[in-house]
Amino acid sequence: MRKLMFSLVATTMSMGLIFGSAPAKADVSSRNSAYQDIDERLKKMAQSAAWGGQEYRSHNIKDIELKGNLIDGSMVENSQVLTVSSDILENNLGHTVNMPSTGYEHEFEETTSTTNTSGWTFGYNYNASFSVLMVSASQSFSVEYNMSTSDTHEKKEKRKFTVPSIEVPVPAGKKYKVEYVFEKVKVSGKNKIDANLYGDVTYYYNNQPMSPQLLYSVQGLAADKQGFEQVIRDSAVGNDRFGIKTTGIGQFSTEFGTRLTRTLTDITDSRNPVKLETKNVPVEFKTLSTDTRVIK
């Protein structure tokens, strides 16, 4: 089992959604219940910050940043090595002969699944998806989380590659074996997911609207913080720097092809085979079909 080291890149999304006490046009029953949880958490936090006759009316989420970080010790990697082609080249002549190996095509499947297990989601006609890119010394891959639901999202790709025939110089009286070995890797683990929220809350006093207060400020005043923490970002200026965040966990599992290796072995003496050469073979993968499904 090999150990990989990963760096992660997250996608930032912007949105402008207003939540409040007024009934929404969308059918409430069609919303994802976990989405309602984060809405209610914001509402309860804001209500607990009201004082001196203030009345909570609405909150406005202007911007969201979703970020992922691999949880140390959560990653499990397994490699699968498949011999996908094998040729025996035997030269019974008295001189070296260039002998062709067999060309072939190989089809395989790559599967990636992710599950939002954070306990909160974004719904309300908004697809809150983001990708986490993982980079190792030998390959990279990305997993995409859909924070609009707590269902498992699975993506399967059927792919193939083609290896052309090659000529191998086989000396007189020699017997060579040409093998192609294809490696697939399955990696699973957990990401810590942060949702940073930037926006404000509107209160009324004597039935008149007050100046909006930043979510950051409301969290500082709230008696019931609902698990939110204050956050300050460097990528903005002024009041747009200040927000709140909530944290959860997302699970992932991905399986993909990594490399094709060609091995040339002298098997003239079957009891004492001699490996002559091992090479990585560059191949171009072609996607034949893609299938996505939601597992509830």
Q: What pTM was estimated for this model as a whole? A: 0.76
Residue 279 bridge partners (DSSP): 262
The CATH number given to whatever domain includes residue 157 is: 2.170.15.10
The tally of domains found in the chain comes to 1
Residue 2 lies in a domain: no
> How does pLDDT run across 231-251, given as a tens digit for each residue?
999 999 999 999 999 999 999
CA-CA-CA-CA torsion for 214, 219, 221, 227, nearest 10 degrees? 170
Average pLDDT over residues 66-90: 88
Residue 275 lies in a domain: yes
Range of the domain at 153: 7-295
DSSP-assigned letters across all residues of 196-231: EEEEEEEEEETTEEPPPEEHHHHHHH-S--TT-EEE
Q: Is the pLDDT of residue 21 over 50?
A: no
Residue 273 CA to residue 265 CA, distance in Å, equals 7
Residue 243 CA to residue 215 CA, distance in Å, equals 6
Residue 168 CA to residue 230 CA, distance in Å, equals 66
Which of helix, strand or coil describes residue 16? strand
Average pLDDT over residues 197-202: 96
Residue 126 lies in a domain: yes
Residue 21 lies in a domain: yes
